[in-house]
């Protein structure tokens, strides 16, 4: 994954509230967690790249700059041909920081979601040590889903759930064990919570945010990874139960192709998608995602901007390519 050193970027009308980024600004499928007064960013790339920031703006490598120096052996046997790990998710669960990550090859559903854990996120801590915990869930050519793009959310009882999925039959949901972070019931059939009904089935990159008694499901429609020709856009729906049913603002079911537009590409930043949401300790919500910078030949660019909420409890952002509110 390319890592571009940049002196900072001017405010763009695509997203006027976005925080100006410098340092390691290139990050695909990013997620950010706050810990000990710092922000740790994980993204797609060799060994799962890690960057750290004091202010969500200036980024530098955290420690050796990645989770794994060498790929866990099981990833090569379970998913032949896999190299970089994709779309990580980091949460604190069972007293440890747990990173879920995708093991796959492009265009295939021979995939797995792996797990590693650590007692600390600060590389200077004597307790800092990433431990491989193997696969959590896997899919094969015969599976009606694709085990990539993990995202973890907690229900009202504090139980963790794993959302995942890409193309095939869309986004699925399984319950996790509070102590181990693995599947609560390995024999349970994943629940379907969102899909596209067109010929492409182009939906992936899900993220569930619990807020004020509701669960907000964010997904990316259409296509990433095509530089300035990427058509990714971020959609959202919500439900009163983490299990769904998720409906968009117009009442359309996300299982029937619904999804209220939240962010789409503008003149400069193309194909915004694969978002997560950071709820900072100061109470601010941030939409975290990647785009492709048309002024830099389609450079994969990390983006973070305030996520706001209207009177009806729906999230919105501002600028060109933002959905209606």
Q: What is the pLDDT of residues 125-160, one digit of tens each?
A: 999 999 999 999 999 999 999 999 999 999 999 999
Q: What is the dihedral of CA 161, 162, 165, 169, to 10 degrees?
A: -30
pLDDT of res. 5: 46
- pLDDT tens profile 49-63: 999 999 999 999 999
pLDDT of res. 12: 66
Distance CA 308, CA 180 (A): 34
Neighbours of 212 (CB within 10 A): 7
Please state whether the peptide bond connecting residue 245 to the residue before it is cis, i.e. omega within 30 degrees of 0.
yes
Q: What are the angstrom distances between the C-alpha of 316 and each of 154, 266, 288, 297, 302?
A: 22, 16, 13, 28, 19
Neighbours of 28 (CB within 10 A): 23
Distance CA 209, CA 255 (A): 18
> Could you say which residues of the chain have pLDDT below 50?
1-8, 10
Q: What is the dihedral of CA 40, 220, 318, 44, to 10 degrees?
A: 20
Of 188, 180, 261, 252, the closest CA to residue 220 belongs to 261
Of 56, 98, 47, 97, the closest CA to residue 75 belongs to 47
Backbone φ/ψ region at 242: left (φ over 0), alpha (ψ -120 to 50), beta:
alpha
Q: What is the dihedral of CA 202, 204, 209, 215, to 10 degrees?
A: 50
Q: What are the angstrom distances between the C-alpha of 245 and each of 73, 166, 194, 237, 289?
A: 38, 19, 9, 9, 25
Q: What is the biggest distance separating any 2 CA atoms in the chain, rounded to whole angstroms? A: 51
Distance CA 232, CA 278 (A): 20
Of 196, 192, 154, 156, the closest CA to residue 175 belongs to 154
**Helix (H) or strand (E) segment spanning residue 298:** none
> What mean pLDDT value characterizes the chain?
93
Cα-to-chain-centroid distance, residue 279: 14
Residue with tokens 């093991």, as numbered in its chain: 103
Active site residues: 29, 204
């Amino acid at each position: 994954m390319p890592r571009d050193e940049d002196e900072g970027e001017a405010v763009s009308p695509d997203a006027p509230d976005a925080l100006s980024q410098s340092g390691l600004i290139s990050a695909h499928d990013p997620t950010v967690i706050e810990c000990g007064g710092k922000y740790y960013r994980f993204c797609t790339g060799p060994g799962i790249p890690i960057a750290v920031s004091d202010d969500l703006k200036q980024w530098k490598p955290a420690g050796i700059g990645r989770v794994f120096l060498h790929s866990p052996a099981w990833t090569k046997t379970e998913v032949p041909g896999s190299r970089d790990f994709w779309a990580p998710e980091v949460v604190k669960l069972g007293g440890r920081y747990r990173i879920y990550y995708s093991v796959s090859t492009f265009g295939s559903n021979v995939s797995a979601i792996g797990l590693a854990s650590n007692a600390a996120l600060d590389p200077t801590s004597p307790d800092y040590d990433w431990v491989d915990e193997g696969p959590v869930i896997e899919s094969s050519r015969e599976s009606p889903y694709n085990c990539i793009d993990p995202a973890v959310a907690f229900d009202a009882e504090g139980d963790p759930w794993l959302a995942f999925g890409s193309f095939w039959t869309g986004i699925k949901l399984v319950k996790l064990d509070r102590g181990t972070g693995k599947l609560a019931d390995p024999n349970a059939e994943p629940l379907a919570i969102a899909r596209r009904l067109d010929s492409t089935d182009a939906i992936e990159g899900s993220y569930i945010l619990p807020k004020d008694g509701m669960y907000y499901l964010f997904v990316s429609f259409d296509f990433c990874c095509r530089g300035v020709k990427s058509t990714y856009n971020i959609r959202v729906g919500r439900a009163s139960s983490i299990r769904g049913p998720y409906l968009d603002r117009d009442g359309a079911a996300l299982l029937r192709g619904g999804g209220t537009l939240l962010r789409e590409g503008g003149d400069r930043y193309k194909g915004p998608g694969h978002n997560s949401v950071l709820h900072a300790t100061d109470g601010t919500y941030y939409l975290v995602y990647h785009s492709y910078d048309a002024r830099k030949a389609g450079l994969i660019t990390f983006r973070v901007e305030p996520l706001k909420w209207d009177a009806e409890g729906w999230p919105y952002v501002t600028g060109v390519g933002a959905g209606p509110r």
